[in-house]
Structure 1
Amino acid sequence: CSFQLLVASFLTAPEGEYIIRQGARGDTFFIFTKGKADVTRFERVGGEAVYVRSLGKGDWFGEKVFQGEDLRTANVIAAEAVTCLVIDLESFNKLIGGFDDVSNKGHEDADAKAKYEEENAFFSNLNLADFNIIDTLGVGGFGRVELVQLKSDENKTFAMKILKKRHIVDTRQQEHIRSEKLIMQEAHSDFIVRLYRTFKDSKYLYMLMEACLGGELWTILRDRGSFEESTTRFYTACVVEAFAYLHSKGIIYRDLKPENLILDHKGYAKLVDFGFAKKIGFGKKTWTFCGTPEYVAPEIILNKGHDISADYWSLGILMYELLTGSPPFTGTDPMKTYNIILKGIDMIVFPKKITKNALNLIKKLCKDNPCERLGNLKNGVKDIQKHKWFEGFNWEGLKKGTLTPPIIPTVTSAIDTSNFDSFPEDNEDPPPDDNSGWDVDF
C-alpha cells in the first residue's frame, strides 16, 4: 500500500462514457493506449456540441494541466471501449521535478558534491590522536559520547561516539551498527546529525559526528513539562523534513522519541542515533521487532511486517508527548504498553489543551491501518505539510534555516556543554579486545 510510489494509473471507459466534461476542473493528463474517443466542444451560440476530432492509440489530451490550467476546454467521449494511461500533476512534478528546476538542480547537486568531496578529503587525513576529549555529552550501555576538540584548530569540535566492540558482539548488534554507519555517512540533510568518519581499535569503534551543543530535546521537555503548540509544531516539522529525506532514499528510521532529537546552536532539531534505521527500499517491508515500547506501531507488535508508515505512527506519538509531557500509550511494563497500543488511538482521552486540529492530525498519523496513515497516502509527506495544524507554517524558511526557532539555546563557545546533563568520569576497566573482524568496514 505504498501509494506514494504511484506515478501513473490506467483508466478504462466503455463506449459512450465521458472521460472529460467541458467546464470541469482536473489535474490529470491522459495518453490513449487502446480504443478511440471523440472530442467535442459546446459552442457559445446555441449550446450545441460540435465535433472537433478523434483520438486513438498514442494520442493524448489534458497537457495544459502541466502549464497550470485546470479548466477543461472540451468533452472527451469514448467512441468504443478505451484504455488510457493517466498521470496526475502531483506525480508528474515528483517524477520530472518541474522543467524550470532541472538546470538549477544540476548546479546545486554539483556544488553539494564538491563540498562533500572536500569534506571527505579533510576528515580522511585525521587520526584519533588528532583530538582531545573535552567533556562527556552522554552515556549508555554501548559506551559514551564525548565532545572532542581538534588539536590543530580549537574552534573545531565534534561529538565522538565510542562503542564497546565486545558489548556489540555480546548483544548481537553488529548488523545494526553497520547499518547505522552506512546510513549516517550518506545522510546529507540539515535535519540529521552528520557522521563524518569512523575509527577503530581492538576495543572500541569511534564515530566522529557533528557536535550539536543545544542539548537533547528530551532534557528541555523534562524541565518544562510540556511545550506550547507553536513549539511542538516547529520540532514536528523538523522531524517531517528528516523523514521526507530518509524515506525518499528508502530508509526507515524506527526510533523516534525526544531523546533522539538534539538541538544545534541555532535551536534547530536534528535526528540522531540510527541504530534501528534500515534501508528497505521502496514498496518493501521488514519484520525486525525494534523501537521504544511507547512509540512502536501496532503492525510491529503484531509482526505483520512494517515499512515507512511506522515512522508516521511514531510522529503522531511524538506530537502528543511534546504537547502533554508524556506519550499516549503507557503501561507499567512493555507488554502492558503493547496491549494498550493495540486498543487504538480512539481509546485515548485527549487533554483539553490539545487543539482540534492537533488532535485531528495525531489521529490521522496514528491510524491502525498503515495504508490509511497520513504520510503514507498518494501525496506522501505533503499531506502532513498541508494539514490545517500546519496552516501558515513557513516550510521554506525551515528548509533554508531562516525561520526563528521557538527555543534558542545559549551556546557560548565550541566547547560549551552547559546544555547537557553532567556525567561522572569513566572509571570502568577497559572492555576485552574483540578482533573477530566483523567491523572491517569501519
Structure 2
Amino acid sequence: ATVKTKTNCVLWSLDRETFQTVQAAQALESRTKSNQYLHEAQCLSALRGYHQRKLGSTMKRTQFLNGEVIVKEGATNSKCYIVESGMVAISSESLGEEELAAKFPVPNKIPYERSSSQSVGSPTASHKTPAIPGGAMVATEGFFLGRQVILGANGVAEADPFDEAAKTSTSTTTMKAVGAVWVSHFDIATFEAVLGPVKEVLSTGIDDDFGSGVGVRELEPVKGLSDSDFEEIAFLGEGAYGKVTLAKCIKEDCRLYGKEYAIKSLSKKQVVEQNHVAQVGSERDMLIELHHPFVLGMEASFQCPDAVYLVTDYVKSVTLFEILYPADESNEIPPEQKKLASRFWAANITEAIVHVHNQGVAYRDLKPENLLVNEQGYIILIDLGFAKKLPYTEVDQDGFEVTHDMTYTLCGTFEYLAPEFFYDGHGHTHAVDYWALGCMVHEMIMGQTPFVDFPGEQDLRKLFLRICKTQYKPVEFDSEFDSKAEIPGEEASACRDLCANLLKAHPTERLGNLAGGAKGITEHPYFGNFDWAAMRSKEMEAPWLPPADFFSSVEKDLLTHDSELEVYEGDPDLFADW
C-alpha cells in the first residue's frame, strides 16, 4: 500500500523488532502474574512448577468495564477467573455474609467491604462507578475467583453445584467489575485437556513426560582428554566452525579406548566472533544430559588453545532426507514397505523426542536432515543447535531472577514451524516439536510437507500464511493420503487422524501436549498393533533397510581436508569450563 500525507504532520514509527520485544515483554508479564496467582490459590496447591506454568500458558485475558457482570448468580459458568488489575465485587442474594466469606476465603488478605450508600473512585456525571452492595466482598489484584468452579469439579460437596457432563458450575454469587478490570481465565475443559481430570490431578498429581528425567544419566562424559588421545582415521564433513573427523581413541586407561568416534572441532576464534560462546556451551551441556539409543549423545569434550571439541558416537548412516528424496529413483522404497517404514520411523522419532523432552529440552529443529537412518534401519536424532532448555532463568535489568516457561526466538526450518512461532509476543514451548512431528509424518507419507504445493517450494509468504491459517481452518489432506498411509489391519484414517491432531494450531489442543503427554501419541490407533517395547530394545526388525549404496564412503585422504586452526588470542576464561 502507498500512504501519503495530505497536510504537514509528525509521524511516530515503531520498527517490527521493537514491537515484537514490547509484545513479548507484556505477554511475559501477564503470564508471570498469572503463574504467581495460580501458585497462591490454595485450591490449586497440588499444581507446582511445570504443570502450573502449563496451565498458566492456556489462560486468556479479558477486560470488563465499570458495572459489567463477569459471573451472574444462578447462571452456569465454566471459567476460572483471576483478577489481574482492578476490583471485582462479589455479592449474593441467597447467601449471608458469613456464607459468602466461607465461599471465598482470602488468606493473608482482608475482604474489602462498603455499605450500599458508598461507591468506589471518583464518579463523574457521565461515568459513575457502581455502588457496592452492603456486605459484598471486593476482590483485588491476584484474587482467584474460580475457587467454587474448581471445588465443584473436584467433587467438594460444599461447592457450587457442578455439572460433570457440561463441565459447568451454577454460580451462587454475582461478580461485577468495579471500575475497569482485567482478568485472566481458563475453563475446566481446557484444564482437563492439558493436565487431566480435576479430581485426579488435585488428589494424586500428574504423570507427565516433560522434565521428568532431568539429571538422569547412566554414564558421565569422559574428562581429561586431549587431541593427542585420538588418532584421526577419515574426514567426515564440515561443521559450522570447523571439520568433523572419524577418529579412534588411543588412550589405554579410558573407557573409550579402541572405539571409533565422530569428533567435531569448533574454532574458538569463530565461535567468539559469532557471539556463540553461550550457545555452543549450552549445546554441550544438553548433549551431556542426553543418553538414548535414538539420540546422538556426547561421550566427551575437551579443548586445545585454538579449538573446543565434541566427541560423539560414530554412526554409519544416511539422512532420512536422502531416503525420502533419493537421487536414484531405483532406491525409492516400495509403497507397501514405505507404509510400514513410515510408521516405524514415526515411532523412532517420537521416542527420541520424548527422551529430549524428559530432559527438559525443546528440540525446535525436527526435519529429515537432522535424522540419521543407520544400517539397522533405525532413526537417530542429531544436532541440538536450536535446542533450548525450559524453563530457564535469567536476571532482568533490575537484577531480579525471572523464570521463563516459554522462549521467543524464531528458529528452525520454515516448513516445520508451528503457528506460535509467528504470533508476536506469544512465545513457544516444546509443543512445537509435536507440530513438526506431524509435518514429518505427512512428509513420509506424501513426499512433501503439508503446507507446500511441491517439495522445495520457495514461496515463503504463501507457506507462512497457510501455517497461520490453521488457527481458523484445519489442515486439509490429499484424497490419496489414507490409501498411501493405511497399515494392513488398522483403520484407514488412523494416520490422517494422528497428523490432524499433531497439527492443531493451538498448543493446548495439540496431541503430545495434552494430559498424559506423549501417551496420546503412543496409544493412538495408528500404532494400534505396534510393539513399542520391542522397538525400544531394538529387538524389532526394521521394515526396510537402506541399500549398501546409500552409504557414502568416508573420505580417506585426510590431507585433502587438512587445515590449520585459526589462532585464538582472546580471553581463555570464556572456555574455562571445557
Q: State the TM-score, normalized to the length of structure 1.
A: 0.69
Q: Which residue of 1 aligns with 2:69?
A: none
Task: Answer yes or no: is 1:156 the counterpart of 2:259.
Answer: yes
Change (3 A) 1:169 1:427: same
**Kindly tell me: are residues 77 and 290 of structure 1, through their superposed partners in 2, closer, same or farther at Cα, counting changes over 3 Å?**
closer
Q: Give the match for residue 383 of structure 1.
A: 520
State yes or no: 1:215 paired with 2:318: yes
1:71 corresponds to which residue?
none
Q: Look up the match of 1:189.
A: 292
Pair 1:337 & 2:463 matched: yes
User: Which residue of 2 is the match for residue 268 of structure 1?
Assistant: 378
For residues 149 and 245 of structure 1, do their structure 2 counterparts lie closer, same or farther at Cα, with a shift above 3 Å needed? Answer: same
Q: 2:456 aligned with 1:346, yes or no?
A: no
- Once the two structures are TM-superposed, the CA of residue 369 in structure 1 deviates from its matched residue by 1.1
SS at match of 2:561: coil
Q: Secondary structure at the match of 2:410?
A: coil
What runs of 5+ residues in structure 1 fail to find an aligned partner? 10-33, 36-75, 98-108, 412-416
2: CA distance, partners of 1:90 / 1:242: 30
What is the deviation of 1:308? 1.1
Higher alpha-carbon deviation: 187-196 or 367-376 = 187-196
Cα distance in 2 for partners of 1:138, 1:235 equals 25
* Match of residue 408 from structure 2: 287
Give yes or no for the alignment of 1:230 onto 2:366.
no
2: distance between equivalents of 1:399 and 1:162? Answer: 31
**Any residues of structure 2 matched to 1:102-117 within 5 Å, and which?**
116-117=219-220
Distance 1:276-1:96 versus aligned 2 partners, 3 A rule: closer
Is the contact made by 2:223 and 2:301 (CA closer than 8 Å) also made in structure 1?
no
> In structure 2, what is the equivalent of residue 21 of structure 1?
none
Q: Distance in 1 between the 2:523 and 2:306 partners? A: 49
Amino acid at match of 1:385: T
Counterpart CA distance in 2 for 1:436 and 1:328 is: 47
Note the alpha carbon deviations across 1:43-101, whole angstroms, 9 max, x for none. xxxxxxxxxxxxxxxxxxxxxxxxxxxxxxxxx99488699x9543999485599xxxx
Alpha carbons of 1:326 and 1:155: their partners in 2 closer, same or farther (altered >3 Å)? farther
Question: Which residue pairs with 1:62 in the alignment?
Answer: none
1:291-302 equivalences under 5 Å are 291-302=412-423
Is the contact between residue 165 and residue 434 of structure 1 (CA under 8 Å) also seen in structure 2?
Answer: no
Query: Alpha-carbon deviation of 1:169?
Result: 2.9
Task: Give 1:314 shift.
Answer: 0.4
* Cα distance, 1:260–1:92 mapped onto 2, change above 3 Å: farther
User: Taking every aligned residue pair, what percent have the same amino acid on both sides?
Assistant: 29
Q: Give the 5 Å matches for 1:35-46.
A: none
Superposed CA deviations along residues 118-177 of structure 1, whole A, max 9, x for unmatched, are: xx4xx3243211212222333244333221112357851011112233333333333321
Instruction: For residue 408 of structure 1, report the CA deviation from its aligned partner.
Output: 4.0
Q: 1:335 to 1:420 in 2, by over 3 A?
A: farther
In structure 2, distance between residues paired with 1:314 and 1:260 = 12
The secondary structure found in structure 1 opposite 2:475 is helix
Gaps in structure 2 of 5+ consecutive residues: 1-30, 36-46, 56-101, 104-154, 163-196, 393-403, 487-492
| TM-score, reference length from structure 2 | 0.54
Q: Are residues 1:359 and 2:512 paired?
A: no
1:439 aligns with 575
Structure 2 match to 1:240 = 350
For residue 5 of structure 1, the aligned residue among 48, 51, 54 is: 51
Structure 1's 266 and 94: CA in aligned 2 closer, same or farther, altered over 3 A? farther
- 1:400 aligned to which of 534, 537, 542: 537
Whether the aligned pair in 2 keeps the contact of 1:261 and 1:271 (CA below 8 Å) is yes
Cα distance in 2, alignment partners of residues 403 and 418 from structure 1: 22
Q: Note closer, same or farther for the CA distance 1:126–1:392 as it changes in structure 2 (3 Å cut).
A: same
**1:335 shift after superposition:** 4.5
* 2:551 partner amino acid: N
Matched AA of 1:426: H
| Counterpart residue type for residue 260 of structure 2 | T
Q: In structure 2, how many angstroms separate the alpha carbons of the residues matched to 1:347 and 1:360?
A: 11
| Cα displacement string for residues 370-398 of structure 1 (whole angstroms, at most 9, x for unaligned residues) | 11110011121101111111111111112
Kept in 2: contact 1:159–1:211 (CA 8 A): yes
CA contact (8 A) 2:416 2:436 kept: yes
Query: Is the 1:135–1:148 Cα contact (8 Å) retained in structure 2?
Result: yes
Corresponding residue to 2:237 among 128, 138, 151: 138
Q: Equivalents in 2 of 1:142, 1:81: separation in Å?
A: 63
Q: CA RMSD in A?
A: 4.1
User: Is the contact between residue 290 and residue 359 of structure 2 (CA under 8 Å) also seen in structure 1?
Assistant: no
Q: 2:301 aligns with which of 193, 198, 209?
A: 198
Q: Is the 8 A contact 1:264 1:270 kept in 2?
A: yes
The structural deviation recorded for 1:250 is 2.0
Give the direction of change, closer, same or farther, for the CA distance of 1:350–1:152 in structure 2 (3 Å limit).
farther
Give me the whole-angstrom Cα distance separating, in 2, the residues matched to 1:144 and 1:90: 52
Please list the CA deviations of residues 353-380 of structure 1 after superposition, one character each: whole Å capped at 9, or x if unmatched.
2442212111111111111110011121
Distance in structure 1 (CA, Å) of the matches to 2:411 and 2:451 = 17
| Cα distance between partner residues in 2 of 1:209 and 1:236 | 24
C-alpha displacement at 1:234, in angstroms? 1.3
1:419 alignment counterpart: 551
Q: Quick check: 1:370 aligned with 2:507?
A: yes
Distance, in Å, in 1 between the alignment partners of 2:364 and 2:406 is 13
Q: Distance in 2 between matches of 1:252 and 1:385?
A: 19
Confirm or deny that 1:310 pairs with 2:432.
yes
Instruction: Using the TM superposition, give the Cα deviation of residue 259 of structure 1 relative to its aligned residue in structure 2, in angstroms.
Output: 1.3
Q: Which of structures 1 and 2 has the bigger CA Rg? A: 2
